[in-house]
Structure formats: structure tokens, C-alpha cells
Structure 1
Amino acid sequence: MDVDVLTRRLVEPNGPYSGITVVDSTESTNADLEGVNAPDRTVLIAREQTAGAGRRGREWTSPPGGLYMSVYYEPGVPAVRVPWLTLLAGVALANVADEAGVQSALKWPNDLLLGPKQRKGAGVLAVTKEKGVVLGIGLNVGAVDARLGPGGIEATSLIAEGAHQLDLTELATSLLLELDKWERPWREAEGDPFASGLHEEYRKHCLTLGQDVRVELSGDKELVGTARYLETDGTLVVRDAEGHDHSVPAGDVVHLRAS
């Protein structure tokens, strides 16, 4: 990871970011940015995380060879639209995987599915601060343990799926440019996913919409039905067998395939 190259390409006045720092190892890039008074669009990248976190308090394994970054944003959009930032990250990851020559798709809200077996290749976690949001992304690039995760999905990586681009500096550049490509118009549209084009781009990548799904909710509850559409705040709407629609703000989605 060449921080000088990243800075030259991506930091003002040559790029959209206010600063980029690369460290060899840290417990969590999200926690590090949460704990400092960083300016808007500050980037922290670690070659390794020793205590990475995923959604719902889960551990995210972050061995050397992956791309682990957090970006601090102060988008100034209505609070109800802030959750779209994590869906935006999923879009950016899918486009980067496609550019690297790997088949990709998204499972709501932001699980990156790679290759013909649709195994999980990345994680996204956002943490809200007083004035902004820390957006954390972990992309599996090198070899990983293919153990089952939430929803029964195996882990995978770009190298396991035959990517032609594995250089971390190039991947970091591509991902940060993709994030800016979608975050900037979303911010300018005051977080409106329709006016910014983000909603349509997300739909292009998302396999969940139209699928029969099981949503694993908190408290060992679950909801089975058909994923119909996204509400304006990114919430998933699922219609059950009785024809009732349910708004799902958070949960682990399992795609149910016909036998």
C-alpha cells in the first residue's frame, strides 16, 4: 500500500479527500476515526485489523492482505437518509469487484456476493458521530477462511474468485473514487437516493429485491416472505404469505431458492 501514491491521486487539490493515512496495524479503523476530531472526507487505511467489527456486534476477521478502510463523512443530509450511506458503500464495492473481473452482486443491505457461488467478500459498518458518520469497509483481497457466516454464506475473496487486479494501492484508489462518485451527488441531493441516481444503481446490483427471503431478526425472530422494494430511507419491505407488508430496518437476509 503506497500512501504517497494515494495522496497524490486522491487528496485535495488533486482529489476529493482531505487526507489519507495508512497504518500497518490497528484494532479498528472505525474506532480510530470515532475517537478523533477528523475533517470531512478523512480516510484511514490499515494493512491489518486486530479487532475489526461487523454488523450487530460481530467480529470481522481482518488478516494482512485485505483492504480495510474507514472514511469520515459530514454529508449534512437529513438523518432519515443517512442509512443510504452503507448501501452506497455496497454499490461502490460491487463496481470495484466488477472492474477487477469478478462477478458480483449485493444482498440487502450491503453484503457483497462474489463469484458464481455468491459467497461473501466484504463487510460494511457505519457508526454515527455527533456531526457525521464513520463508514468502515473491509474487502477480502487475499486468501481467507471460507467458513460459514451469518445467513449461512461462506467467505471468499478477490483472489479466490480469479480477480485480475489484486494490488492494494490500485484497489484502494478505485474504491475511494467509486465512493466519491456516488456520495457526492447523493450529498448534493440532500441524501435523496432517487434524485442522485443511487437508488437505481443499487437496484441494478441487488439480488434481494423480488426474491423469496427469510429475514433473521433480533430476539430469535424471523420473517419469511418476498422482498418487494426499498423505502426512501433504505428500509426493506417484505410481503408475507398473508399479503401483509413489513418494513425491515435491520436483519440478516437469507435468499430462499426453489428446490
Structure 2
Amino acid sequence: MGEPVDRPALRASALRELLLHPAGPLGRLEVVERAESTNTELAAALTREPDAWRGVGMVVADHQAGGRGRAGRSWQTPPRAALTLSISVWPTAQDQRSIGWLPLLTGLGAVRALRATAGVDAGLKWPNDLLVLGAAATEGDALDGWGTDRKVGGVLSELVPTAAGPAAVLGIGINVSQTADELPVPSATSLALAGAKDLDREVLVVALVTALAELKARWSTAGGDAVASGLADEVQAVCRTLGRRVRVALPGGGELVGTARRLDGAGALVVRDDAGTERTVLAGDVLHVRGAEPVGPGQRP
């Protein structure tokens, strides 16, 4: 057996001091020892007391026992081994016209926080996976659908109807200190396994909230226009899917194989199939086909 992993509890008082108004961007912050799902808990709170959660709010759990991923998948971690949180924002009428960008902007904020605090080469896999790029030791460790990249976290965005209007709940889960035998699938990794320079969850959550607040402000100032604000280009620059040959499992059955070209104005993935036709993918599971590397930032395949 290896040495015990140090997994300290989150300190609610410290996080509130740093993140609540006037020091930080949050209007309300709840730190809980255990939650089945932070998205479910925050959505219920918004529905029950919308006026008490006006502004930007957050629920963060020391242990999420029944987390939810996209398409109804489950996501579980050992106690205190991951950062699991949900943030609520209230999109304006203008923001709601391009609501599809919210999960991508959330992913961009997470990428920036991971790079700044953990020092890992993070990126996005469309539409909602957080990757550590080249996390596998060698090309011989490449996995079909992932190559040498590994999933370190993910984003789950939901729109919640309330008596005060629709609220967006942005759930983020990041594997922090899991050992190899604590991960559920070979495509997963943790910051610890990726060689992160800092595994302090409090440092990461402060960086994450700060990054998201800055991105949300830019998005709203531009009237919810991700293209005009420049945020669309910034998302594309960290999106590892673009420029790759991909295989997309489409909702309801069917498959699309081709090259991921770009994101359209609504954040959907544009794929050129083998017949040369460009098709827009609004939802689906995307696998990165081996043998095709992405283009560099700012380039177009």
C-alpha cells in the first residue's frame, strides 16, 4: 500500500472571505460536507428561494456522492479527492440568445484556472470535457478516442426555470488527488497523476470563480455575443477537438466521421464529412480518431 493521500477539508470561512462580496464576485456561497449532486442541490435552492440567490451563487461540496455528467452519466469520486461545485448565473434576455456558449465559456474558465494554478497543459474536448494534453507517458499509451490526452474533469450546464426567471447552473468537476486505482476508466486522470504543481482545492476554486466572473462579464457586456466579445476565438484556441479527425455518435443513433473544422456562431461543432459536406453537430459524443493532430491556436483546418 502507498502512503496515505493528504486530503484536507475545504474551509468555508476562508472561501467566503475571498469570494463573497465585496472581496469577490459571489453573492451567496454554500460549502457542504456532502452532496449527491451540486447541480441538483443548487437547482433546488434556486427554485425554492430564487430571490435569496440573486446574483452569482455557488454550492461547493467536499464530497459529491452522486454527481451527474452529460447524457445522464454518473460521476463519482472518493471524499475530498476532487473539486465539485456548481455556480448559478442569471442570463439576461440578450444572453439567452446564445446560451449554448455557456458550457464552452465555463470550460474556458476551467482551462485557464488549471493552467494558472496547477501548471498543467489543459484543454477542451467539445462539448464539455476538460483534458490534460499528452498526459499519457508515451504514444504506446494512446487510447482510441483520446490519443495521449486524458480527461481530468467536465462541465454540466443546465437551465433552471424559477419564479424570478431562468437561471443557468454551471456544474464543474475536476479530479484532483485520485490515485490510478481510484479512477473509473483508463481515459481518466487526476491533477496529481498529471504532475500538477499545486493540489490545493481552495486555490483552484478561487482561480476558477475569478476566471468565470471575468468571462461572464465580457460575454454580458457584448450582449451575449461570444463572437463580438472575442470569446469564441479564445474557446477555439483551447479546443483540442478542432483540426482533428473525429467520430461523433449522434443522438438517436447514427454516426458522423470527418474533420472538426470550427465552432459556429452558436458554439456548435462543424464537421466536414468524407464526402466534403459540412455538417453542424449540436450534441453528441465525440471521439478523437488517432493519427490526426489538431491545428495550432488561431489556425483553421
TM class, shorter-chain normalised? over 0.9
Aligned to 1:183: 216
CA-CA distance at 1:115 after TM superposition:
4.2
Aligned to 1:26: 35
One-letter identity of the residue aligned with 2:66: A
One-letter identity of the residue aligned with 2:73: R
Instruction: For 1:125 and 1:94, locate their aligned partners in 2 and report how far apart those are by CA, in whole Å.
Output: 15
CA-CA distance at 1:79 after TM superposition:
2.8
Aligned to 1:108: 126
Residue from 205, 211, 214 that aligns with 2:247:
214
Unaligned segments of structure 2, at least 5 residues: 1-9, 135-147, 293-301
Q: Confirm whether residue 86 of structure 1 aligns to residue 98 of structure 2.
A: no
Write out per-residue CA displacement over residues 6-43 of structure 1, whole angstroms, 9 at most, x where no aligned residue.
21112111111101111000111111111122222111
Write out per-residue CA displacement over residues 118-154 of structure 1, whole angstroms, 9 at most, x where no aligned residue.
1000111111112211110001101153443xxxx61
One-letter identity of the residue aligned with 1:195: A
Identity of aligned residues (%): 41
Q: Confirm whether residue 192 of structure 1 aligns to residue 236 of structure 2.
A: no
Aligned to 1:135: 170
Aligned to 1:44: 59
Deviates more, 1:72-81 or 1:125-134: 72-81
One-letter identity of the residue aligned with 1:164: K
CA-CA distance at 1:204 after TM superposition:
1.4
Tell me the secondary structure at the aligned position of residue 170 of structure 1.
helix
Deviates more, 1:45-54 or 1:3-12: 3-12
Q: Confirm whether residue 69 of structure 1 aligns to residue 85 of structure 2.
A: yes
- Whether contact under 8 Å (2:95, 2:220) holds in the other structure is no
Residue from 20, 23, 26 that aligns with 1:17:
26
Unaligned segments of structure 1, at least 5 residues: none
- Whether contact under 8 Å (1:62, 1:68) holds in the other structure is no
Instruction: For 1:14 and 1:147, locate their aligned partners in 2 and report how far apart those are by CA, in whole Å.
Output: 38
Larger Rg: 2
- Whether contact under 8 Å (1:62, 1:138) holds in the other structure is no
Instruction: For 2:204 and 2:64, locate their aligned partners in 1 and report how far apart those are by CA, in whole Å.
Output: 18
One-letter identity of the residue aligned with 2:150: R
Write out per-residue CA displacement over residues 200-256 of structure 1, whole angstroms, 9 at most, x where no aligned residue.
111111111121110111233210011111111111111111111111011111111
Aligned to 2:194: 161
Instruction: For 2:189 and 2:32, locate their aligned partners in 1 and report how far apart those are by CA, in whole Å.
Output: 24
Q: Cα RMSD (Å) of the superposition? A: 1.5
Deviates more, 1:3-12 or 1:83-92: 3-12
